[in-house]
Structures are given as C-alpha cells and as structure tokens.
Amino acid sequence: MNKKENTLSLRKRIMSHHLFLPIVCLIVVLLVNVIRTPDFFKVSINNGVLYGYIVDVINRASELVILAVGMTLVTAASGGQDISVGAVMAVAGAVCCQILSGGQVSVTEFQNSLILAVIAGLAASALCGAFNGFLVAKMNIQPMVATLILFTAGRGIAQLVTKGQITYVRVGAFKVAGGYMKGCPVPTPVFFAIAIVLFISLLLKKTALGLYIESVGINGNASRLVGFNATRIKWITYVICGLLAGVAGIVASSRIYSADANNIGLNMEMDAILAVAIGGNALGGGKFSLAGSVIGAYTIQALVTTLYAMHVSADQLPVYKAIVVIIIVVLQSPAGKKLLTKIGRKKHSTIGKEATPV
C-alpha cells in the first residue's frame, strides 16, 4: 500500500510540475508523426550536413526561440507583450545588410566590416527596444499599444534604410550565421539559440535580475516600496527583447543572404507570444519559465513542420495551426488545469476503491 501511495505521490508531483503540460504537448505533436509520417524522425547526413524533418524543426525554431526568450522577460515584467519584435528583426537585418553592401543592391564582397555591420544592426534593434521600454515603463502606456507603433512603422523604417529594395549580400562569411560552419553538420542558427538561452539563463541566475523581474511583474507598487526601481527594470527587459530580436533578424537575413523588409520576421511576434503561453507562463506577468517558452517555441515549429510533412498547403496551414494551438492553450489555462486535476483525482479515487479489500 505504501508503494502505491508513493507511486501516486510521485505521479502527482510530476503532473503538477510547471513544465509537465508543455512537454506533454510537444511529445504529442511529435508522436502524431509516428503514425502519419513514419520517416519524420529519420536523420541522414548528405555532403557532411544533417538532413531530416527533426533537424528542420530544431533549425527553423532557432529564431523563434531567441524571440521567445525576450518576450518572456517583457511579459513577466510588464504584464504585456512586445508585438514589434518581427518588425525590429527587419530593421536589424536592413541596417546590417545595408552597411555590408555599401548601399548597393547586390554584392559579392563586403563593402564594410562585418563586425561593424552586426554591431550597427544590434544597436538599431536595442534602440527600438529602448523606445518601446520608454513608452511602457516611463510613460505608462499599455504594452500592446506602445509596441504597436513600431509594429506598424518598423518595416517602413527598414524600407527607408534599404531604399525600398531587397539588398543581397552574397558572401560566404555572411551566410554562415544562417547556414553551416565549415566541417560542422549542425546548422549554425542552433548554436545561436543555445548561446542566447544559456547566456540569459546565467544572467538571471547569477544576478538578481530574475528576482527583480518577477517581483515587479507580480506587484510593481510593492516592489517600489522595498527599493526596486520598477521603471528601470521594465525598461531593461524591453531593451533585452529588442536586442534579441536584432540577433534573430541578423540570423534570418543570413539564411536568405539578403535584407527583405517585407518578409523577415513576418508574423513571428504572434508565434513568440504563443510560445510564451504554451510554455505555461502567465501573460499577465509575474513568475516565468524560460525553459517553458523554449519548449513552446519548439512545439510551434514542430507543429508547422508536421503539417507540411502531411502535405498541408501553405494557405490551409494557419487554420490547422490555430485549431491545435487553441487546444493546447485551453489545456494550459487555469480552467483546463483544474479539469485535468479533477480527472486525475477521480482516477486515483477509483484505483483506491479497487485496491480496498472487501
């Protein structure tokens, strides 16, 4: 009997863990492919490079992972979301490529330093984040409304930078960030995603920033009373979010070796918000989990890749994606969790009655 009680207690602890549902959702999406797409998990090496659906999931989710990390911090601190990250990606890519091309439409050699161009692109994205942070933290404008400005104008700014053209940078050194390093079978964007997640995780754990963000998100007024500068903390999270959007934008530009202001980061802000929600984070702010958001990002990309593997057309993709995401988000909601808890309790009580000797 004690053994059964211990088993039930362990099962309850596992099911109550904040990462349980996000992991289950990811596993369910992946397991669908065992039936519908048997070769989904097949990985091969061609010309020294890894190929396969699962590799594509990990690779294509890299930019979304980077965005989800920044979105998590913004959501936790301000209780709102930054819907301009997709446009900020386009701005960073435009600035970087325009400097590399020297203002030309297409180049096969760098016209300026790669390091200078990357720094300028990241600086532009950080400036966008600082602008959003000023409106939210200092001017007390609702985050969705404040970031709507750059959501609307960001791509226009990118078009102004590139003079309304698609700027091509056909240089091997630039393509590495969105492709492969010589002699390495793993796509380079994966390393960018890992580096960002590790760096932000260490920053939050080794400093008090994580505690400050959660405190401000839970109760900003109380945080001020104990000496926290809530305005500065919120502003910092938006700067970080903008900077990470810049990293994602440069990686995305490198994938297509160009600055396409109309398409880079298009609709990715919505996927980043969904990744945060699927990861079990409260969109109203407060406690957060970077790991949950990362799992949410991979779940979204796994869903998209799965649908493509099932030969769902690009036009129909949003419909199927929306249906699955609604189901996942409902299960992650407080009402959904209560329902799952009730079902679990009924099963436990039934097991207990069956085990009771007559």
What digits encode the pLDDT tens for the residues 155-202?
Answer: 999 999 999 999 999 999 999 999 999 889 999 999 999 999 999 999
- The DSSP bridge partners found for residue 44 are 51
- Band of residue 87 on the pLDDT scale cut at 50, 70, 90: very high
- Angle formed at CA 75 by CA 69 and CA 76, multiple of 5 degrees: 90
What is the C-alpha to C-alpha distance for residues 296 and 216, in angstroms, rounded to an integer? 24
Q: What average pLDDT does the structure give for the chain? A: 90
Q: Which of 59-63, 95-99, 219-223, 264-268 shows the lowest mean pLDDT across its residues?
A: 219-223
Q: Minimal CA–CA distance to 41: which of 49, 50, 77?
A: 50
Q: Which residue has the tokens 């362990």?
A: 10
- Band of residue 314 on the pLDDT scale cut at 50, 70, 90: confident
Q: Judge whether 278 and 61 are in contact, CB under 8 Å.
A: no
What is the C-alpha to C-alpha distance for residues 133 and 321, in angstroms, rounded to an integer? 31
Q: Judge whether 111 and 175 are in contact, CB under 8 Å.
A: no
Whether pLDDT at 102 is above 70: yes
- The DSSP bridge partners found for residue 167 are 259
What is the C-alpha to C-alpha distance for residues 208 and 210, in angstroms, rounded to an integer? 6
Long-range contacts at 33-38 (CB < 8 A, ≥ 24 apart): 33/306, 33/309, 36/306, 36/309, 36/310, 37/306, 37/309, 37/310
Q: Is the dihedral of CA 262, 268, 270, 273 positive or negative?
A: negative
Q: Minimal CA–CA distance to 271: which of 295, 246, 301, 250?
A: 301
- Give the pLDDT of residue 358: 43
- Give the pLDDT of residue 326: 84
Whether pLDDT at 292 is above 80: yes
Whether pLDDT at 2 is above 70: no
Whether pLDDT at 1 is above 90: no
Q: In percent, how much of the chain has pLDDT > 70?
A: 92
Whether pLDDT at 106 is above 60: yes
Q: Is the dihedral of CA 296, 298, 302, 304 positive or negative?
A: positive
Whether pLDDT at 9 is above 90: no
What are the helix (H) ranges across 184-259?
188-206, 209-218, 220-225, 230-255
CA 226 to chain centre: 32
- Give the pLDDT of residue 304: 93
Q: Is the dihedral of CA 237, 243, 244, 245 positive or negative?
A: positive
User: Average pLDDT for residues 102-129, to the nearest whole number?
Assistant: 96
- Band of residue 21 on the pLDDT scale cut at 50, 70, 90: confident
Q: Which of 4-18, 110-124, 128-142, 311-325 shows the lowest mean pLDDT across its residues?
A: 4-18
What is the C-alpha to C-alpha distance for residues 25 and 20, in angstroms, rounded to an integer? 9
Paired sense of beta strands 167-169 and 106-107, if any = parallel
In tens, the pLDDT along 34-48 reads: 888 888 999 999 888
Contacts of 101 (CB under 8 A, 6+ apart): 107, 111, 167, 168, 169
Angle of helix 114-133 relative to helix 85-101, nearest 10 degrees, comes to 150
What is the C-alpha to C-alpha distance for residues 44 and 339, in angstroms, rounded to an integer? 42
